[in-house]
């Protein structure tokens, strides 16, 4: 394994899928792709990505169903919903089902890459998060 963060892109528009893949990889992430919800869920299970960029309007199992399935799991990747339909109800529903972020199409690829990085950062356990509960470090005794 390379140590790069992995991002699964679930998008049925082949041109947009390629655009996202190229830009996300240029930002230093590894990517894998799925053009429908069924394949996306299989890849999430097999690959355990750090983040998923999820379109809502997908053939077969739609993005809402993917998001609902991930919300039922104990552990799931950070999910960035990327949709042309972005009403306040859609946003509220997505966040309610565990989405880390919601980006409206059309979007800036810089915004997408930044949002992916932030979502992964927020989802990762922070090193030293429990330091407040740890006993204080003792200073080395001075030589006698």
Site of tokens 């810089």: 110
Its pTM stands at 0.84
Q: What is the mean pLDDT of the chain?
A: 88
Give residues with Cβ within 8 angstroms of 129, minimum separation 6: none
pLDDT tens-digit map of 103-118: 999 999 999 999 999 9
CA 48 vs. chain centroid, Å, equals 11
Strand 101-104 relative to strand 78-83, pairing: parallel
Cα distance between residue 56 and residue 53, in whole Å:
10
Above pLDDT 90, what percent of the chain? 79
| Token digits of residue 63 | 């993005």
In this predicted model, which residue has the larger pLDDT, 119 or 144? 119
User: Average pLDDT, stretch 121-133?
Assistant: 56
Distance CA 78, CA 51 (A): 5
């Amino acid at each position: 394994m390379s140590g790069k963060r992995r991002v699964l892109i679930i998008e049925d528009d082949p041109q947009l899928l390629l655009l996202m893949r190229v830009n996300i990889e240029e930002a230093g992430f590894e990517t894998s792709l799925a053009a429908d919800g069924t394949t996306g869920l299989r890849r999430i299970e097999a690959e355990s990505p750090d983040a998923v960029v999820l379109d809502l309007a997908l053939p077969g199992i739609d993005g809402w169903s993917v998001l609902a399935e991930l919300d039922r799991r104990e552990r799931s990747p950070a999910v960035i919903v990327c949709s042309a339909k972005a009403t306040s109800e859609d946003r509220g529903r997505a966040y309610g089902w565990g989405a880390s972020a919601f980006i409206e199409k059309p979007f800036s690829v810089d915004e997408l890459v930044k949002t992916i990085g932030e979502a992964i950062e927020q989802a990762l356990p922070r090193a030293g998060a429990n330091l407040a509960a740890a006993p204080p470090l003792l200073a080395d005794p001075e030589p006698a």
